[in-house]
A and B are shown apart, each in its own frame.
Chain A
């Protein structure tokens, strides 16, 4: 199978994958009862009416974790080619990879020292 064909397979798979869960939902849509009323389709909060907006900015800690994650995730993707070429690598490439990991660790310890990893 040539490269284009491989990705064509992935493409067809990606289109089909949401169809599988959609099928039972559509079948259920055909059979299910429909008796909506105001109380039933109100926001569920154990019987209490909901107060205020839900879509607000809230708690910066989640955002900080997101930022640290972004740094790590993007850099880790760069490490995969390094790992895949590990067996044929020259010493220069090998050391360069280590330098990269060192900088990454440095960033982690910086965040640690700044107490960004503590749940406040």
Chain B
């Protein structure tokens, strides 16, 4: 992207254009090229999402419009274009209209720092990971604004739940992100991928990956954390008053966010474009990244369509009493172990360019530590579960409050 922008900029200056204008236009072209990827995939994602959900529920899914229903999204788009757009008189008009824009923009903006191949990326910010954390939290803001501005009690309840849920799960998410940053010794996405040449970070720090996976499922509001859109209690939650294209934008943002998380997990934990022959051609590198991200994306869809919804008190307790302490313990143990290994010269100090053999002792030690922590955690959970079951048996049927709000 760099060469394209600079090349274009030089070409325009040579042909007599104003230097500032030339720079602006070349940046704009770069932005359109980078954002083209998520904007084009989102059309396909809606179809994939519906098809996969249908297959898991033993249905056929969209199959009428176009071959195997591929044109369904375009038909839906046309339908949404013709829908009346109702703004409730009680709503705060400005915030009500801005919320869907912010929601979608926050997801697209993440792609500014997502590298597609070793040579094709928007920008390689030195604080790439932090940029992702900062931008992604705008999505939470958009949902709160939507719920508040609708001036509807269901919408407000939904928005309150979302904010408490998303905000809580951001803590383990960000803690899990510390692991790849620490291993690579850099916050740049490109450096993090290059540092995985010896060993993928999912092997070095599997618990960080699991924590990131679970909390990103919560961040996108997918089952089992989908009480944002609890249809049975809140009718739809924060987007109840939205209709037409604005409603569609919330959903496009959600679909895209799930896929974006898949790609990010591939980059941070699964070596990004690393794979056989990736250095031969950028196309192969891009295919590897797409394949890894796609598989992770499909597993999140699988999870979403398989597990039931949890209650809000259960979700919160799981986060604050299990995931957060676990993520802290994980960071402490991994950093301690890696430092000791580095002092003993059993692990390379610089992972970029390290080979598989260099990484082997560190891998084994870290795997044992992660395994021990997992077994310890499962032991605690098992004991807690037993206690809870015994209590439930001792006391006669006692229904929990139906709505925890």
Contact = CB atoms under 8 A, between A and B. Distances in A.
A21 B112 CA distance: 16
B325 A1 contact: no
B6 interface: yes
| Interface size of A as a range | 35 or more
B181 A84 contact: yes
B171 A72 contact: yes
A86 B331 CA distance: 12
Contact of B152 (A20, A43, A68, A69): A43
Contacts of A68: 320
Contacts of B130: 77, 80
Interface of A is mostly: helix
Contacts of B350: 87
B122 A98 contact: no
Contacts of B87: 41
B364 to A, nearest CB: 20
Contact of B123 (A1, A59, A66): A1
A80 B108 CA distance: 23
Given A13-B34, A16-B35, A84-B181, A69 B170 contact: yes
Interface in A30-45: 31-36, 40-45
A28 B83 contact: yes
A108 B163 contact: no
A6 B125 contact: yes
B151 A43 contact: yes
B42 to A, nearest CB: 10
B148 A20 contact: no
Interface in A1-43: 1, 5-6, 8-10, 12-14, 16-18, 20-22, 24-25, 27-29, 31-36, 40-43
30 contacts: A16-B32, A18-B105, A20-B104, A21-B100, A21-B103, A22-B101, A24-B77, A24-B80, A24-B249, A28-B83, A32-B85, A41-B88, A43-B151, A43-B152, A44-B88, A44-B241, A50-B90, A54-B151, A62-B163, A65-B164, A65-B316, A69-B167, A76-B178, A86-B182, A87-B342, A87-B350, A98-B332, A104-B328, A108-B324, A117-B320
Given A21-B252, A66-B163, 6 more contacts: A9-B123, A10-B123, A18-B101, A58-B160, A80-B187, A119-B317
